[in-house]
Structure 1
Amino acid sequence: MKKTLFFLLFSIVLLGQKVETIDLSKSIKDSKNSVKSLTVIDIRSNKEVGMVMYHKDEVKIIFENDAGKDIKDWFYKYNPVRGNNDLVFLLESLNISEDKKEKYSVGKLELRASTFIKKEDGYHFIDRKDTVATVSSRTTPYLAQSLAKKVSSILTDLFKESYKGTPWELSISENDLPNYNSLLKEKLGILKADELKDGVYKDYYSFFTHNPEPGFTLQTNDKGVVTKAIKGEEKTAIRHFYAFVHEGIAYKNIPVGYTEIFKDENGVFIEVTKADLFPETAGNGVTIGSAAGGLIGGIIGAVIDASVSGKKNNTLGPKVYLDPFTGNYLLPEDFGKTK
């Protein structure tokens, strides 16, 4: 009788729970055919993805088989032609949850995954996605479907960007992969340097490894605003660089000009407001940047000419750290919210 009751209750639970499978069907073809093999390492402590509600039903978000097998099968489906590189996909975290409000719910996705190239001397970091995204039931009642699609989209972007990415020169061992974040940060020159090298840094990697572009000097206008980088006859507007160091002080280009970069025990950061990073329009009326949700924002795709705007105004905002693995902004959860 007890067994019969148990199976009856178990059947009722199953009937009340639906599933949403993460659809890994978008093309992730490597047009360069550069990858010979893919290894997927899933270091999540909890292999469950998560669950949200649809009306009165629980909807569980799942992989068709498991994350490792599905991601690997997905890659080989679109990349039958082999290259020379051994690509490693590290799934660090993936969690979907729901925050129930009085009249609606907010579904939340937290995802972090990284890619490496395996070489004889170890594993070389390429790229990563470290994302928090939310979906409101006021926008769509199908939270599970929407969040599952976001998982697929983020993983697709990571593969495509990894094909184009340049592996770091720094390497770590296979045993150190789970701790790559702290171990690689310890090797970054910008975090260890007592004095900074003047010059321009073309991208986040050259900045964090403390390697300015050789041969460039900085030019200022009559107001002391840095406007250009000069190398012989070549003159490049300062806004085309990720960052620069002038008279020993580091600066980050942002949409409203440039702002000083500071350093503490947690890394490097800028002090900015939401309006500094995500102004609605630039002077020419073109929308720039993107109001990225969650903890991490994207690199701004355009900046106002520093010769016009120069340093940003003196309005200080909260600390916004710069991610040494992507160059992106690590936005506080309450960034831009009024109290």
Structure 2
Amino acid sequence: MKKTLFFLLFSMVLWGQKIETIDFSKSIKDNKNSIKSLTVIDQRANPEVGMIMYHKDEVKIIFENNASKDITDWFYKYNPVRGNKDMVLLLESLNISEDKKEKYSVGKLELRASTFIKKEDGYHFIDRKDTIATVSSRTTPYLAQSLSRKATLILTDLFKESYKGEPWEFSISESDLPNYDSVLKEKLNILNANELKEGVYKDYYSFFTHNPEPGFTLQANDKGVVTKAVKGEEKTGIRHFYAFVHNGIAYKNIPVGYTEIFKDENGVFIEVTKAELFPETVTTGVTIGAAAGGLIGGVIGAVVDVSLSGKRKNTVGPKVYLDPFTGNYLLPEDFGKTK
């Protein structure tokens, strides 16, 4: 009788729980055939991914085997022809959770993973994904499936960007890998510089390593607004650079112009509103957009003039830090929300 009752209860538990296996069927082929081997280090404190409710059933999100084996098998499946570089993927966090509202639920994915190239002198950082994504049950009832797919897509992007990315010049030891974030930050010159080097910085890496483009000087208009970088006969609009330093002050390009970069004990940051950082249109009617790491088109105009005057029409926003490992914006949790 006891055995019968046990199996009955066990069956009820199985019946009430469903499984969503993370699907690694999307191609992550290295078109350059540059990577010889992949090592996956699962650094997560908790190997569980998470659980979401579907109606009255629990849906558990899992790896088919485990994170290290599944991601490694995924790479070798799509890369039978390989090169001579040894890549390491560090899985730092992967968590799926659910926030239940009164009439709906919001599923949340938190994923952070980084890639390195292993050389004789140590490990060289390439790229990182540090992402939070949400899905509402008002959009889709299949939260677990949607979020597990998002995890696959994020890792796919990380692989493809890492194949073409240039490893950092700094190396760290294997024992420092778990703390690479703090170790590498110590090596970034911009965080420790007392004086900033004048000029333009083409990307986040050149900015954080404090290496401006050689030979360029800045050109301002009659209002003191920097508009171009000049190198001989070559003139390039200032908006095409990640950042620049003018008269000892650093500025970050944003969609509506540029804004001053500040520094504190936590890193470098800008003070902007959501409307300034992610505008849909400007007064000229020109549509502009912003990538997380910099500018994709935009205009230099009245917004810049008022920002340099220090007035900015009282639109100074909260601190938005710049991620030294990606150049992306690290947005505060309540960014853009009105109180």
TM-score of the superposed pair, with normalisation by structure 2: 0.95
| Corresponding letter in the other structure for 1:302 | I
Mark the CA change 1:337 to 1:307 in structure 2 (over 3 Å): closer, same or farther: closer
CA–CA distance in structure 2, aligned partners of residues 237 and 220 of structure 1:
11
Aligned to 1:86, what secondary structure does the other structure show? strand
Deviation, 1:64, is: 1.1
Q: Is the aligned partner of 1:302 residue 2:303?
A: no
The corresponding residue for 1:115 is 115
Structure 1 letter corresponding to 2:29: K
Q: Is the counterpart of residue 286 in structure 1 residue 287 in structure 2? A: yes
Distance 2:50 2:7 in 1: 24
The reply on whether 1:26 has 2:26 as its aligned counterpart is yes
Distance, in Å, in 2 between the alignment partners of 1:239 and 1:320 is 19
Separation in structure 2 between the aligned mates of residue 324 and residue 270 of structure 1, nearest angstrom: 13
- Quote the residue 2:142 is aligned against: 142
Residue identity opposite 2:153 in structure 1: S
Shift of 1:309: 4.6
| Aligned twin of 1:271 | 271
Q: Is the 8 A contact 1:257 1:303 kept in 2?
A: no
Q: Which residue of 2 aligns with 1:95?
A: 95
Q: How much has 1:10 moved relative to structure 2? A: 2.7
Q: Which residue of structure 2 lines up, in the alignment, with residue 295 of structure 1? A: none
Contact 2:104 2:138 in 1 (8 A): yes
Q: Once the two structures are aligned, what percentage of the paired residues are identical?
A: 81
Give the partner amino acid of 2:117: I
Equivalence for 2:258: 258
Relative to structure 1, the CA distance from residue 301 to residue 22 in structure 2 (aligned partners, 3 Å threshold; closer, same or farther) is farther
Deviations 1:103-142 (A, max 9, x none): 0000000000000000011000000100000000011011
Amino acid at match of 1:186: E
Aligned twin of 1:238: 238
Q: Distance in 2 between matches of 1:14 and 1:164?
A: 45
> Deviations 1:42-101 (Å, cap 9, x if unpaired)?
000100000000000000011111111111111011111110110101100000000000
Q: C-alpha separation between the residues in 2 aligned to 1:6 and 1:178?
A: 44
Q: How many Å apart are 1:13 and its aligned residue?
A: 1.2
1:42 touches 1:90 (CA, 8 Å); kept in 2?
yes
SS of the residue corresponding to residue 336 of structure 1 reads: coil
1:6-28 C-alpha deviation (Å, 9 max, x unpaired): 44323211110001111111111
The CA distance in 1 between the partners of 2:170 and 2:302, in whole Å, is: 38
Name the counterpart of 2:55.
55
Q: Secondary structure at the match of 2:289?
A: coil
> TM-score, normalising length from structure 1?
0.95
Contact kept in structure 2, 1:229 and 1:235, CA below 8 Å? yes
- 1:66-105 alignment runs, 5 A limit: 66-105=66-105
**Equivalent residue pairs, number:** 332
Q: Which amino acid in the other structure matches residue 304 of structure 2?
A: G
CA contact (8 A) 1:254 1:303 kept: no
Counterpart residue number, 1:294: none
Conservation of the 8 A alpha-carbon contact between 1:226 and 1:307: no
Q: What is the distance in 1 between the residues matched to 2:298 and 2:77?
A: 43
* Superposition CA RMSD, Å: 1.4
1-structure distance, mates of 2:192, 2:2: 65
Preserved contact between residue 227 and residue 300 of structure 2 (Cα < 8 Å):
yes
* Amino acid of the structure 2 residue aligned with 1:209: T
Contact 1:38 1:72 in 2 (8 A): yes
AA matched with 1:77: K
2:4 maps to 1:10 = no
CA distance in 2, matches of 1:87, 1:155: 14
Q: Structure 1 residues 194 and 4, CA, compared in 2 at 3 Å: closer, same or farther?
A: farther
AA paired with 1:169?
Answer: E
Preserved contact between residue 39 and residue 88 of structure 1 (Cα < 8 Å): yes
Distance 1:69 1:300 in 2: 35
In structure 2, the partner of 1:192 is 192
CA contact (8 A) 2:253 2:294 kept: no
Deviations 1:134-190 (A, max 9, x none): 000011011001001100100000000001111000110011101001110111000
**What is the alpha-carbon distance in structure 2 between the residues aligned to residue 125 and residue 332 of structure 1?**
25
Shift of 1:267: 0.3
Give the deviation of 1:305 after TM superposition.
2.9
- What is the deviation of 1:3? 5.4
Asked whether the equivalents of residues 226 and 310 of structure 1 are also in contact (C-alpha less than 8 Å), the reply is no
In 1, the alpha carbon distance for the partners of 2:334 and 2:7 equals: 46
Gaps of 5+ in 2: none
- Structure 1 segments unaligned to the other structure (5+ residues): 291-297
- Partners of 2:225 and 2:261 in 1: CA distance: 16
